[in-house]
Amino acid sequence: MASRNTKDKTLIEITVVGKDREGVVAEITNSIFRNGGNIEQINQKVVHGLFGMHLEASFYNTVKLNEIHSELRELSAKLQMEIKAHVEEPSRKKNVALLVSKEPHCLSSILNALQDKEIDSNISVIIGNESTLKGIADDFSIPFHSVSYESSSANAESKILEVVEEYNIDLIVLARYMRVLTPNFVWRYPNRIINIHPSLLPAFPGAYAYVQAFERGAKIVGCTAHFVTEELDQGPIICQDAFKVMEDDTLESIKMKGQQLEAATLLEAVKLFLEDRLDVYWSKVHTLSKS
């Protein structure tokens, strides 16, 4: 999960993305060791020549963050790769970015929870692949950025990454965002992107889950909040919920019930993250008790 601080140590999350080349892992880990850190977790993948690495390092006692950031910037230039370090300051609220398309139910649920003080965070920005939901953002006085995919997915993702970095985002929430994020995007925010999928994964993949459930006569329909990975709808599951399908249910009534459940389930996942109650290891999410 994202970097976190405890009383006696600081965890720093480092992500590396770029064209695959030799020696990257050694360069980064040696930098950590030189600065007195220990490796807690490390994962690396290569897809079509694109290298991605996620590393968590622990530092005890005094942490010279300026020196660490400076050395990582030098390595970034040397290796010609994007290298970023994320340190979560315990004294501030987490910054959240909401990504949306047309459907408002998940967005409204989170914003209403914020207004009612059910969640404690900064909803810093809302990003849409179109401007349909801008009015809701305006009602809550939250900046809205419309990023079109018309030119190319790569250009759109680059613009979204710029916005996310500008607002120093700790958590990205896909509030029924109807676009698939590429590994180039996902690797930059490991276990910090939460999606809501309209079925009990692994089943009924894709955008027409409720249609498939209705046509196949499913007796139980549900939804899944999960962390996003480069493998579509395969990320670690945070929470799930379901409802029984009645004999008199129609496709429309199933959709309505499903959307209500999506909003509630996604909100629960967001709450757990913001309360630092999610831990991910061996591709499973473990929910921690309230401290």
pLDDT in tens, 169-212: 999 999 999 999 998 899 889 899 999 999 888 765 566 777 87
Domain boundary among 47, 63, 86: 86
DSSP code at position 5: B
Which one of 38, 57, 86 terminates a domain?
86
Mean of the per-residue pLDDT values of the chain: 89
Give the mean model confidence (pLDDT) for residues 132-140. 97
* Residue 1 lies inside a defined structural domain of this protein: no
Report percent pLDDT > 70 for the chain: 93
| Catalytic annotation present for 249 | no
Catalytic pick among 233, 248, 276, 279: 233
CB under 8 Å to 140, separation ≥6 — which residues? 111, 114, 115, 123
Looking at residue 8, what is its pLDDT? Answer: 63
- Listed in sequence order, the DSSP H helices in 199-250 are 209-215
Give the chain's end-to-end CA distance (angstroms, integer). Answer: 17
- The domain tally of the chain equals 2
Whether the pLDDT of residue 151 is over 70: the answer is yes
* Whether 246 and 210 share a structural domain: yes
Domain harbouring 29, CATH code: 3.30.70.260
Asked whether the predicted pLDDT for residue 88 surpasses 90, the reply is: no
3 pLDDT tier (thresholds 50, 70, 90): very low
Q: Are residues 143 and 60 in the same domain?
A: no
C-alpha to C-alpha distance for 110 and 90, rounded to whole angstroms: 22
Both 19 and 110 in one domain: the answer is no
pLDDT at position 204, please? 58
Same domain, 74 and 129: no
Dihedral angle sign, alpha carbons of residues 282, 283, 287, 291: positive
Confidence of residue 4 (pLDDT cuts 50, 70, 90): very low
Assess whether 68 and 184 both reside in one domain. no
Give the number of other CB atoms < 10 A from CB of residue 178.
Answer: 13
pLDDT at residue number 206: 62
Domain assignment of residue 207, given as a range: 95-287
DSSP characters over 208-268 = THHHHHHHTT-SEEEEEEEE--SSTT-SPEEEEEEEEPPTT--HHHHHHHHHHHHHHHHHH
Decide: helix, strand or coil at residue 13.
Answer: strand
Does residue 109 sit in the same domain as residue 78? Answer: no
CATH code of the domain covering residue 108: 3.40.50.170
Considering the domain architecture, whether residues 58 and 127 belong to the same structural domain is answered as no
pLDDT of 2 above 80: no
Nearest 10 degrees: CA dihedral of 43, 47, 52, 55?
0
Consecutive H or E run containing 91? none
Residues 222 and 195 in one domain: yes
pTM comes to 0.84
In the structure, what pLDDT confidence band is assigned to residue 47 with cuts at 50, 70 and 90? confident
Burial class (CB in 10 A: 0-12, 13-18, 19+), 204: buried
